[in-house]
Amino acid sequence: MSHSERRGRLLLNAFPACNLCGESICSFSAGVLEIIHRNAPKGENFFSQHYRWMDGRPTVLNEIHFDEMWTWSCTFRLPLSVVAVYSNPFDPYEPEATFNLSGVGELRPDQEICLPQDDNQVILWSHIQHTFPTPKFFSVLANLLTLPMHERCWHLMTQILDVELIKKNMAIFVRAVCQPWLFRRPVSNPSRSYPVIELSELFLGLPGRFRLTPTRFRGMGDEDPSHMPRDFRGADPLDDSYVDKVIAKYAAKYTKQREKGFEPTWQPSIPTHTMSRRSQGTFRPRNVFLPTELIMNIADYLGHRKDIQNLLSVFPHWHPMIPDSYWRRRFIDDNCLDNDQFPPEDALDWQHLYLSSDRLLRPSLGWRNRQRILSQLQGTKERFLRQLERKEE
């Protein structure tokens, strides 16, 4: 019988953690549905009611901001693979395993979860009856190895990599996720990266120092949200209202300036001056003019905002030559945001917002957590693309 035909519940060991961001997958006695009811607008019904559980689509979770620290980390999904006891599906020198991406489930305080087979489905426990559902769910299987991922982190991953490309090459993606730490630890270590307790046969004789996550050691009790650090890592990385408030503030300020007649004046693009190969004149950056399209191509080549700031500090006269449509696109693309949620290019000074985003948005804990997660996901993306390229050679 295949794993998709079995029914029942999965039991995790005591230390589940996300293998994309390295932080714990938490559980709360209230349950995610109750937390959602507290955070969602009154009258909104996001999920279909069943006898003991509710289901919906993952996109619904993206529309909800979790105000309480760490509550966003309760929901997660798994790439599942059934392998032989002593094989390692994450080792590039072993045959590729077949992985199936689960839907989204919730970690309960008793360490029980249920995961839908459909990767476009969310199953959450009823906030009235905390009993696991039975139909169409993955169940406990012998020798099941997997890498859990926060649903928030998976969503951000699909913003910087095409989701269909990942699903088509899930085995390569899983290896890219664990590659930085794979060869520093034995295959059979009891890491929270292998969360299913059916691996007990592999735990024999291993020293305690192998209790690792992909990023750091963890002490006993760290899985308890009450012991979590209260810094920005516990803040929801999606849909932070502070970002909307900052943009609304600068849009209103920009509108007032335009009403007072302070219209931006764009400097025309002028061809660069002719330079002789034998010229002895001093190089003057202010004399270098390029077509706007070429300046934008140069800026596109620079992957980080600080690199663009350095470029414009050398050529400050290029500032007014770059239109707001470019800065709006860079702000959205660099931060993996939804284009539809932001005002048009003429609504505010997008250049100022983009170049000053670290300072303007730093008070937002969710924004800072988002930037931290995105920086880690970039490494996963680069490893995935490199391994995919080697496979296609």
State the pLDDT confidence band at 175, using cuts at 50, 70 and 90: confident
- Which residues, other chains included, contact 121 with Cβ-Cβ below 8 Å and sequence gap of 6+? 55, 56, 57, 58, 103, 104
> Is position 277 within any domain?
no
Q: How many domains does the chain have?
A: 2
Locus of tokens 């650090």: 229
pLDDT, tens digit, 9 for 90 and up, residues 186-241 = 333 333 333 332 222 222 222 333 222 222 223 333 334 444 445 788 889 997 88
What is the sign, positive or negative, of the torsion defined by CA atoms of 232, 79, 14, 58? positive
Domain shared by 107 and 74, yes or no = yes
Domain shared by 74 and 145, yes or no = yes
d(CA 327, CA 249): 18
Output the pLDDT for position 226: 42
Q: What is the CA radius of gyration of the chain?
A: 25
Domain shared by 26 and 157, yes or no = yes
Lowest mean pLDDT among 43-52, 243-252, 288-297: 43-52
Domain encompassing residue 260: 241-271+285-371
Domain shared by 219 and 293, yes or no = no
Locus of tokens 């305690």: 208
Span 172-178, mean pLDDT?
Answer: 84
Please determine, for residue 271, whether its predicted confidence score (pLDDT) is greater than 60: no
- Under 8 Å between Cβ of 327 and 351: yes
Most confident of the following: 6-10, 62-66, 162-166, 264-268 = 162-166
* Strand 149-150 versus strand 112-113 pairing type: unpaired
Domain shared by 18 and 108, yes or no = yes
Domain shared by 217 and 306, yes or no = no
Mean pLDDT of the residues in the chain:
71
Domain shared by 189 and 251, yes or no = no
Output the pLDDT for position 383: 92
Neighbour-count burial of 209, counting CB atoms closer than 10 A to its CB (0-12 exposed, 13-18 middle, 19+ buried): exposed
State the pLDDT confidence band at 109, using cuts at 50, 70 and 90: low
